[in-house]
Structure 1
Amino acid sequence: MPRKTTRSPKGKPPAAYLDEALLSRLKLSPEVAWYLTERGIPLPDCPPKVITPSPGEAPGAVFDPGRVDRVLKSFHLLRHTQGKWAGKPLDPDPWQVAYVLAPVFGWVRHDAEAGGYVRVVRRLYVDVPRRNGKTTLAGGIAVYLLAADGEPGAQVYAAATSEKQARFTFDPIRQIAERAPALKGNVKAFTKRITHPASGSYFTVVSSVAEAMHGANVHGGIIDELHVHRGPDLVETIETGTGSRRQPLVVIITTADDGRQESIYDRRRQYIEQLARGALTDPDSYGVVWGADTEDDPFAEETLRKANPGYGVSPSAAYLRGAAAEARQSPADLAKYLRLHLGIRTKQSTRYIRLEDWDANAGIVDEQLLRGREAYGGLDLASTSDLCALSWLFPEDDGEGLAAIWRFWVPEAALRDLDKRTAGAASRWVREGWLTATPGNVVDYDWIREQIRRDLDAFDVRSLGYDPWNASQLTNDLASERAPLVKVRQGFITMSPAMKALQRLVLAGTPEVPRLRHGGNPVARWCVDNLAVAMDPAGNVKPDKARAGEKIDGVSSLATAMSEVLARPPVRKSVYEDGDFEAI
């Protein structure tokens, strides 16, 4: 698909003349690469491990090089305050321009309500190992939002979890503002606040929701070291306080955590990775993550360069060699080294089904052609106040694969929260018919019962598996109507063969010959991308809702249906049945 033509507001087209293979390897858009080349900034050879789509892919987006020029000029007027660079201009490194400042500040779109062009990006996430200039980058952005962004009465906040952390966050930014000759007489720095009298703007640190709500008209937010925040309340309060601003920007700059599940860090990191994989779409959010892979040699120079975009400048090669030497000598220091200097979440689990493998099996599923076909179902009722799922699996005529369809339900009252967790996709799923919103604040089981009745009439249903732990009046009613219900417990013994069979099918499938043909159902795709599994000492696996960052009900129902497929009378050996399951 050809790339759309983009123009700056001034009408000058960026010349995207660089080699496409190089741009792909460096993960740069043609416009940003053009900007770097035209301004004499070297192309950085340190692409992020994870990067969300270019903001230029947003509808109506255009690249304005003058806006980036303004940001870099603002940085140049500031001064380093520590170390060997103290007193020198705060010029960003090429990687900071290429992967942060140019994409965030250069891409704009016209907003009739705002009366002109505004930034595409409103939420920025930068995840990078220690000593890669996070503090100075955050400080430069904070001062720009305060005094140079053209926003009258700008309120810029930094979120801290305590008074102590507030000082770590605020003091470096205050020093940057105080020691810049160009800012003398233009900004005033106080103990807990920096002001810009000419625009009536201020920057301050907040360490509680009450403090953040006091202004409630946020133009900019700086969240440093997201992983130290115990909960989401303060961060979310700052983000939701931006609603009345033309082009607000909330910046998260952090190092990796140790892999804890369901923390605010974990949820934001997972969200950025989902955007990068294409599981979700959110042009307002842009994120980059640097880090090594678990299979990399943690002490090799190549690995250190890969994880640290500022390698050789900040952090220095000598500093990282010293940290590596300490980690070699002390197992206790190794985990800290991997997290702080290589960006590896040391407790992170391996993805059980990769999204690219799942997508390769999409195929086309025509429900009308499935009428009268042999079918096996799986019902996941989960919580009545959240997502419920029904899966149907249909053995293919060749005996080598399966076709899958889903039904999903959510209470109308829970749809807004689900929208927040899916970048607004949930409402689109409802409009497109992939998800049914039932009236009220709990799922109306009558809707599910009626759909199952229709499916029993349409398909040759051999069995419908359900979790007896979640048995309800619904299953009692269906049983009284002679629906072929089967209790399927969700432990390792039952779920492991089903999960391994699903994984085997997905890995065996190709776009030309899908083995688990699912039609690209977007709700199911989201559940697959959220999937986490638990494993016992014998290597058995099962879906793990407690460790999943988000809902996996679509996979749970699919695994339940798969257990029924495996339990059917054998026809002939197929790709999803092998010696592992002969005893089932």
Structure 2
Amino acid sequence: MARKRKTRSEPELPDDAELERLKISPEVAWFLLSRGIPLPDCPPLVKTPEPRDVAGAVFDVERVDRVLRAFGALVHTQGQWAGRSLRPDPWQVAYVLAPVFGWVRHDEAAGGYVRIVNQLYVDVPRKNGKSTLSGGIAIYMACADGEPGAQVVTAASSERQAGFVFGPIKTLAEKSPALKGRVRAHQKRVVHPKSGSYIEVVSSAADAQHGANLHCGIVDELHVHKTPDLVETIETGTGSRTQPLIVIITTADSGRRGTIYDRKRRRIEQLAARVLTDPTTYGVVWAAEPTDDPFTESTWRKANPGFGVSPTRAYLARAAAEAQQSPADLAKFLRLHCGLRTKQETRFLTLDSWDRNASIVDETRLAGREAYGGLDLASTSDLCALVWLFPDDVRGGYDALLRLWTPEANMSALDKRTAGEASVWARQGLLMVTPGNVADYDWIKLQIERDMDAFDVRSIGFDPWNATQLTNDLTEQGAPLVKVRQGFVTLSPPLKDLQRLLLAGTEERPLLRHGGNPAWRWQVDNLAVTTDPAGNVKPDKANSGDKIDGVAALVNALSEAMTRKPVARSAYEDDDAELIII
């Protein structure tokens, strides 16, 4: 619900389908139209949900008005707009400023309303006004957010980059007439004496830790940060502020896995896909699709929300012409101007196909069923996974059951990586939390023994490289454990069959029924695969977005299930006269 200023006439909003296409909430659309700001037609490729469903959430138009007034008091300092008032473009208001600064909730400890969003991520190609946007936010947070003694830092990965990061902010403070006499610009700090606030540049974790009580942190060009230290230090330095804001504004990287950029970008994509839930984090990513023609204007428009103003059409046309002349220039053009992570792996399993096959799995009805297991004990201090597959000769395909364990000491780290979802999974019984700081294999052994009593277990596939006392004990007790080598030759057939089952399955006839387990869905979304010259594939734990133990266990189980002899059913047993082969 929006706290609306009275107007002479209410603006007429587009219908729900159009707002969904534009990826603009009704509250933000109302605000723009009521202020005479046109709705932009440049939706981001990725957008996390606005925090509309948070208990007590209110859209405060006055707060957004205040931000826009603060921006308007600044002036452009370069190019054809030098000296003109810095008025954010409609896309910046619709997709960045209004969602972040407009959504508030009442906080009793703070004695009033506070922003819901405290983490902002903006991923946009070069020349789309990133420096101006981040500079305006920094000055607003220091001088106009009403926070006494606000400490605002801008993060640079090196002393050299510090000038590129801090320079635009310092210039805005020096050149804007409205700030004359109100702020003091020094070499590495802008001071607002009235509120006792300042903006300064830091280029090391040690600098960021010194006296840290941050109200706002600005991280520009995340992909140039080789380690996460500085970024993480800034993020943890806001604990005593009631409505802090961490801002990351960046261009795409070259697709390297495991970097701080990769982790942040991946999390935004998972939040947007509803794999994770965190209303305090808001992010947008502008980019072309990998299948788009990079040399057409429609692609440039899709990836660049400022197209036609900054960057201009002529600028992108020149860059595209250069890109057509050499592979090196093409890779640079794809990354810097189309927002494409140029080495990003193709997703092997899609969430759409996974969700299509969810169906319902009732464990009580699996008793006595033929079962094939897959065990993954890859990390004693993180996750351990067991998957059971139950062939279904009537409906086709398999029913699937995941069991997941983690040590109690790992829950804090796992919650951080899953935006708090791990604790939810534990409460729902989808994740078993064992005592201590390493995996308690007695819990896993006991569960396997119970499952062997309940199901008709034919075999349990496991990785011999990670064989432990658990697997030795289970073998001695007669468990039908089978070694599943983790090379291409062994894992490629079941992994490709898993992909086939998911793609062939439909909501009406799912072929891998997994019950929509969210902990499993998170791991499927994390999966990356590696390919050999012959086209064989296997899970790639090193380059996956995060944990994939549940997927690895599933592949091990499917490797065993595929050894089952095909079961043919009489054509007279169903109306379709169909012969089903498993």
TM-score computed with the length of structure 1 as normaliser: 0.96
The equivalent of 2:228 in structure 1 is 232
**SS at 2:62 equivalent:** helix
Range with greater deviation from structure 2 (73-82 or 15-24): 15-24
Query: Aligned partners of 1:505, 1:332: CA distance in 2, in Å?
Result: 39
Deviation digits for residues 412-456 of structure 1 (CA, Å, limit 9, x no counterpart): 111101111000111111111111111111101111111111111
Alignment partner of 1:168 is 2:164: yes
Alignment partner of 1:347 is 2:343: yes
The equivalent of 1:579 in structure 2 is none
The equivalent of 1:99 in structure 2 is 95
CA contact (8 A) 2:526 2:545 kept: yes
Query: Aligned partners of 2:395, 2:91: CA distance in 1, in Å?
Result: 52
The equivalent of 2:462 in structure 1 is 466
2:230 is matched by which residue type in structure 1? L
The equivalent of 2:399 in structure 1 is 403
Alignment partner of 1:143 is 2:135: no
Deviation digits for residues 487-516 of structure 1 (CA, Å, limit 9, x no counterpart): 111111111110111111111222222111
Q: Tell me how far 1:340 sits from its aligned partner.
A: 0.4
- Out of 395, 412, 415, the position equivalent to 1:416 is 412
CA contact (8 A) 1:110 1:117 kept: yes
Deviation digits for residues 224-275 of structure 1 (CA, Å, limit 9, x no counterpart): 0000001111101111111111110000000000100101000100000000
Query: Aligned partners of 1:404, 1:146: CA distance in 2, in Å?
Result: 53
Query: Aligned partners of 1:332, 1:201: CA distance in 2, in Å?
Result: 45
2:167 is matched by which residue type in structure 1? D
Alignment partner of 1:303 is 2:299: yes
CA contact (8 A) 1:399 1:572 kept: no
- Out of 547, 550, 555, the position equivalent to 2:551 is 555
The equivalent of 1:46 in structure 2 is 42
CA contact (8 A) 1:15 1:31 kept: no
Query: Aligned partners of 2:395, 2:235: CA distance in 1, in Å?
Result: 52
Alignment partner of 1:477 is 2:496: no
Query: Aligned partners of 2:204, 2:4: CA distance in 1, in Å?
Result: 40
The equivalent of 1:3 in structure 2 is none
CA contact (8 A) 1:129 1:308 kept: yes
1:437 is matched by which residue type in structure 2? V
2:347 is matched by which residue type in structure 1? R
Q: Tell me how far 1:18 sits from its aligned partner.
A: 2.0
Alignment partner of 1:111 is 2:111: no
Matches within 5 A, 1:399-548: 400-548=396-544
Matches within 5 A, 1:277-356: 277-356=273-352
Query: Aligned partners of 1:215, 1:430: CA distance in 2, in Å?
Result: 37
Q: Tell me how far 1:355 sits from its aligned partner.
A: 0.8
CA contact (8 A) 1:155 1:215 kept: no
The equivalent of 2:14 in structure 1 is 18
CA contact (8 A) 2:11 2:33 kept: no
Query: Aligned partners of 1:146, 1:484: CA distance in 2, in Å?
Result: 65
Judged with a 3 Å threshold, the aligned counterparts in structure 2 of structure 1 residues 360 and 191 are, in CA distance, closer, same or farther, namely same
The equivalent of 2:575 in structure 1 is none
2:458 is matched by which residue type in structure 1? R
1:513 is matched by which residue type in structure 2? R
CA contact (8 A) 1:132 1:308 kept: yes
1:547 is matched by which residue type in structure 2? N
Runs of 4+ in 1 over 4 A off after TM superposition: 9-16
Matches within 5 A, 1:146-295: 146-295=142-291
1:7 is matched by which residue type in structure 2? A
2:443 is matched by which residue type in structure 1? W
CA contact (8 A) 1:32 1:103 kept: yes
2:164 is matched by which residue type in structure 1? F
The equivalent of 1:577 in structure 2 is none
2:96 is matched by which residue type in structure 1? V
Query: Aligned partners of 2:6, 2:225: CA distance in 1, in Å?
Result: 44
2:497 is matched by which residue type in structure 1? A
- Out of 564, 567, 574, the position equivalent to 1:571 is 567
Identity rate, percent:
68
The equivalent of 1:8 in structure 2 is 3
- Out of 72, 80, 84, the position equivalent to 2:68 is 72
Deviation digits for residues 346-372 of structure 1 (CA, Å, limit 9, x no counterpart): 100111111121111111111011011
Query: Aligned partners of 2:168, 2:178: CA distance in 1, in Å?
Result: 17
Judged with a 3 Å threshold, the aligned counterparts in structure 2 of structure 1 residues 371 and 14 are, in CA distance, closer, same or farther, namely farther
CA contact (8 A) 2:393 2:569 kept: no
Alignment partner of 1:129 is 2:125: yes
1:465 is matched by which residue type in structure 2? G
CA contact (8 A) 2:357 2:510 kept: yes
TM-score computed with the length of structure 2 as normaliser: 0.96
The equivalent of 2:573 in structure 1 is none
The equivalent of 1:32 in structure 2 is 28
CA contact (8 A) 1:292 1:307 kept: yes
* Alignment: residue pair count: 571
CA contact (8 A) 1:16 1:33 kept: no
CA contact (8 A) 2:124 2:251 kept: yes
Query: Aligned partners of 1:96, 1:573: CA distance in 2, in Å?
Result: 60
The equivalent of 1:578 in structure 2 is none
Query: Aligned partners of 1:17, 1:549: CA distance in 2, in Å?
Result: 39
CA contact (8 A) 2:5 2:62 kept: no
Q: Tell me how far 1:58 sits from its aligned partner.
A: 2.5
Query: Aligned partners of 1:357, 1:114: CA distance in 2, in Å?
Result: 45
CA contact (8 A) 2:393 2:567 kept: no
The equivalent of 2:81 in structure 1 is 85
Deviation digits for residues 30-81 of structure 1 (CA, Å, limit 9, x no counterpart): 1111111111111111110111112223332111111110000000000111
CA contact (8 A) 1:275 1:282 kept: yes
CA contact (8 A) 2:42 2:301 kept: yes
**SS at 1:545 equivalent:** coil
Query: Aligned partners of 2:237, 2:568: CA distance in 1, in Å?
Result: 61
Deviation digits for residues 171-229 of structure 1 (CA, Å, limit 9, x no counterpart): 11011011111111111111111111111111101111111111221100100000000
The equivalent of 2:574 in structure 1 is none
The equivalent of 2:576 in structure 1 is none
CA contact (8 A) 1:170 1:205 kept: yes
Q: Tell me how far 1:399 sits from its aligned partner.
A: 5.6
Query: Aligned partners of 1:141, 1:183: CA distance in 2, in Å?
Result: 15
Gaps of 5+ in 1: 1-5, 575-581
Q: Tell me how far 1:540 sits from its aligned partner.
A: 1.0
Range with greater deviation from structure 2 (220-229 or 21-30): 21-30
**SS at 1:534 equivalent:** strand
Q: What value does the CA root-mean-square deviation take over the aligned residues?
A: 1.7
Query: Aligned partners of 1:17, 1:93: CA distance in 2, in Å?
Result: 20
1:497 is matched by which residue type in structure 2? P
Gaps of 5+ in 2: 571-580
Q: Tell me how far 1:473 sits from its aligned partner.
A: 0.5
Q: Tell me how far 1:14 sits from its aligned partner.
A: 8.5
